[in-house]
Amino acid sequence: MRNAINVTADGWVRSSYSGPEGGQCVEWAPGAVAHGVVPVRDSKDPEGPVLAVSPGAWAAFVAFAARSDA
């Protein structure tokens, strides 16, 4: 069974690493965290698939990205 979480168009936040040229970026929907998930999508494909990750997994990803040289 799938549970849908409706995120409005203005509910998405783009990665601070994103530049105006629209590189390899992600967006996340902080308003959905209250539902126990963090929706994440490709900023270049807003109609495409959305990953639903746990808040803990998202926090670990952000911490890793912040300290990564990649």
Residue 59 belongs to some domain of the structure: yes
Residue 3 belongs to some domain of the structure: no
Instruction: Look at the chain and report how many structural domains it folds into.
Output: 1
Residue 14 belongs to some domain of the structure: yes
Residue 2 belongs to some domain of the structure: no
DSSP secondary structure letters along 1-66? --------GGG-EE-TT--TT--S-EEE-GGGGGGT-EEEEETT-TTS-EEEE-HHHHHHHHHHHH
pLDDT at residue 6 greater than cutoff 90: no
- The answer, as to whether pTM is greater than 0.95, is no
Residue 50 belongs to some domain of the structure: yes
pLDDT band at residue 1 under the 50/70/90 scheme: very low
pLDDT tens digits along 11-66: 888 876 655 565 668 888 888 877 788 999 888 888 888 888 999 999 998 898 88
Which residue segment(s) compose the domain that 25 sits in? 9-67
Residue 4 belongs to some domain of the structure: no
Residue 18 belongs to some domain of the structure: yes
Q: What local confidence, expressed as pLDDT, does residue 54 receive?
A: 92
